[in-house]
Amino acid sequence: MTMEEVAELHFCEEKATYQDTTLAKFVKRCSPKAWRDFFTHKRVSEAIERADDAIRYAKKEIDAIQAKQPKLLRYRYHIEPPMQLMLEAFNRVSPENIKVVILGQDPTPQEGKATGRAFSVEDPRTVGSVMNVLLEVALEGWSVDLSNGDLSKWENQGVLLLNSALTIGEIEYIDENDNGKIKRKQVSHLGYWCEFTKLLIRYISYDLAEPSVWILWGNVAQDFTVDRVFDTFSKCYNPTQASTTDITKEQSLISRPKNYVLMGGHPSPLSSAGGMNTFFAGHYFHCVNLFLYEKRHGAYIKWGLVDGHSEKLNVGSLFYPCPEFH
């Protein structure tokens, strides 16, 4: 390895930070070679550049806090995951190996827990949505370890763990209006990443030769697949609009019937608060394998996460048939 290559590796894996490096610069230098056709596309580069300041500085959100307390002097703005992990999902799965895309929402906001891979964390007991995903895997008869949320075994088989937004922010500040208490405000980056993610969905769905399965958990993931005209961040993604969108009646960015779409509620424990849980018992993993076996020449995913206990293939229920994929 040359000195230049060593320096580049050091930059991508250790040195780059949101404070000192633009998103465009990091993507240009650190995006995986297998994904370069996508990341170097003009529209993709422009989408990243447009979102850069809003993501890295959160001026709009900080100004909103400052409007309520003009003397706001002490605050800390933090972004998860670290920049080194922002593209980790792409490092794990190359385009030609994609069989399944699990589309999540934001990265987990807890500091130090986000990995850059949707629903994959070190300790699932601290992230409720990840714990529920593991419980759903177990419900379908596959092996899990509820103390280990690493989904590398899935990625090694072609499952892309993609968040709708690659980053999430948090502002920590001293609230002088509340006796100097430390407050935290989560800053969603969904609107800022929306254009990029829509371009990515179209690229995987239309440009890659092989069909894939899309698992869309929650309103956000489902809304991101809608092909709509927009000219602002808020028109690309609007939480109110997303909560009422019926994607079965909208033009989709996912090419069908080439690809197969499975939908369910978000696995977050909060998503079913006060209402019906629409995540559990969706038979997602069974239906994925039925499609792959027929459309990808006998392929399937071993969803089991414990070594030596991942061969349970005859799962599913005649009482819950999979959506048609003809």
Q: What is the dihedral of CA 297, 89, 187, 135, to 10 degrees?
A: 60
- Cα–Cα dist 263/163, whole Å: 15
Instruction: Write the CB contacts of 47 (distance below 8 Å, at least 6 apart in sequence).
Output: 195, 196, 199
Q: What is the dihedral of CA 121, 125, 130, 134, to 10 degrees?
A: 110
DSSP string, 33-50: GGGHHHHTSHHHHHHHHH
Catalytic annotation present for 106: yes
Q: Which two tokens stand for residue 30?
A: 């650190």
> Could you tell me how far CA 38 lies from the centroid of its own chain?
17
Residue 100 phi, psi (nearest 5): -135, 140
DSSP string, 90-159: HHH--GGG--EEEE-SSPP-STTT--SSTT--S-GGG-HHHHHHHHHHHHTT----TT----HHHHTTTE
- Choose, from 106, 150, 178, 246, the residue flagged as catalytic: 106
Burial (CB < 10 A; 0-12, 13-18, 19+), residue 53, is: middle
Question: Residue 102 is which amino acid?
Answer: I
Q: Which two tokens stand for residue 226?
A: 């809608």
Work out the number of other CB atoms within 10 angstroms of the CB of residue 230: 14
Sheet holding 100-103, edge to edge: 159-162, 100-103, 213-217, 260-264
Q: Which residues are catalytic?
A: 106
